[in-house]
Amino acid sequence: MSEGSARMSDPTHDMEGRRASRRPFAWLRAFLGLFTFWRIFAVVVLLLILGAMRDDAAPSGPYVARLWIDGLIVDDAGRDALIADLRDDDDVKAVILRINSPGGTTAGSEALYISLRDLAAAKPVVAALGSVAASGGYIAAIGADWIVARGNTMTASIGVVMQYPQLTGLLDRLGIEMKEIKSSPLKASPSPFVEAPAAAIAVQREMVADSYAWFRGLVAERRGLEGAALDAVADGRVVSGRMALDAGLVDVIGGEPQAVAWLRAEHGVTAAPRDAEIEEARQKRLIDLVFSQLGVEAPTFLLREAAGRALSGPRLMSVLD
């Protein structure tokens, strides 16, 4: 066998040749090795976000923010932050509250009312009532400067209620007795498992009366009612929009067109309404997260674009007084 044929059949020589043939692509493999799966995934997510921002971006410029207050009203930090954002946004020239709520917790209604009055100190706020705006829903309405109601809107329900189940009869039937060890007779009372002492009931009545006095005071202040006129509407009854107009609880019968007309006539606001921005904070967090995974800070222009977008469908979850 010749020397040349011996070299060709040498396995070591063949392996070195194959390694040499792949050497021009070694830099590419090393570069790709820098990217782990999570970094590539982060880039894909970023591209999707940028695409959504480009395709779904809402028009910029002055507008009237349409803020939906639906369902049960509870203490909601995200809702209050959104309202503060609308107050501080120079593009927001006014706010229309679209209210469809049967009420809420007294603390949640209080927090919403304070946020709305803070907003109204900066720009015009008008409430447009839907099917129902009762109890805490009406508290939200009087947080506005002007109230529009449908003729058949169920509204008012100016009052406070505290309810708890009483299961002692059922427990007796089942032969179950609930034992308690507590620091004082008023602790955790009333309870569904034992008959409440008279002192505990008296304390609860005091709390209800205090909250009711607060509610009445808001109505008196915001709607200019007092004496017999206030007593007539503040007994907990629900009234229609037409009855509310006669009683001085709302300003006009109608819907959003009447709210828009009032803003134009009284405040010179001609911008068109659109749904309030509610995705701003979440979108900025998403962009920050993607870029943090890449080990760099998000470009400020992306954060500005996220903050400036208005996505449709914000809803404020809000409970029966």
The residue ranges of every structural domain in the chain are 54-157+237-317, 163-234
Polymer length in residues for the chain: 321
Other C-beta atoms closer than 10 Å to the C-beta of 94 total: 26
Question: For the structural domain made of 54-157+237-317, what CATH number should be given?
Answer: 3.90.226.10
- What confidence score (pLDDT) does residue 193 get? 85
Catalytic residue check, 187: yes
- What confidence score (pLDDT) does residue 42 get? 61
Q: Which of 115, 135, 189, 191 is catalytic?
A: 135
- What confidence score (pLDDT) does residue 49 get? 60
- What confidence score (pLDDT) does residue 190 get? 84
> Three-class SS string for 235-283?
CCCEECHHHHHHHCCCCEECCHHHHHHHHHHHHCCCCCEEECCCCHHHH
| Helix and strand numbers, DSSP H then E, in the chain | 14, 9
Q: How far is CA 314 from the centre of its chain?
A: 7
Is 0.85 topped by the overall pTM?
Answer: no
Quote the CA–CA distance of 218 and 225 in Å, as a whole number: 10
Which two structure tokens, joined as six digits, stand for 111? Answer: 């927090």
* Ordered per-residue pLDDT tens for the chain, 321 residues: 444 444 445 555 555 555 545 555 555 555 555 555 556 556 566 666 655 554 444 456 899 999 999 999 999 999 999 999 999 999 999 999 999 999 999 999 999 999 999 999 999 999 999 999 999 999 999 999 999 999 999 999 999 988 878 888 888 889 988 888 888 888 888 888 888 888 888 998 999 999 999 999 999 999 999 999 999 999 999 999 999 999 999 999 999 999 999 999 999 999 999 988 544 444 554 555 555 555 555 555 444 444 333 322 333 323 344
Catalytic residue check, 135: yes
Which two structure tokens, joined as six digits, stand for 252? Answer: 């006009």
Q: Which of 9, 60, 182, 187 is catalytic?
A: 187
Yes or no: say if 157 and 238 are a contact pair by the CB < 8 Å rule: yes
Cβ-based burial of 288 (10 A; exposed 0-12, middle 13-18, buried ≥19): middle
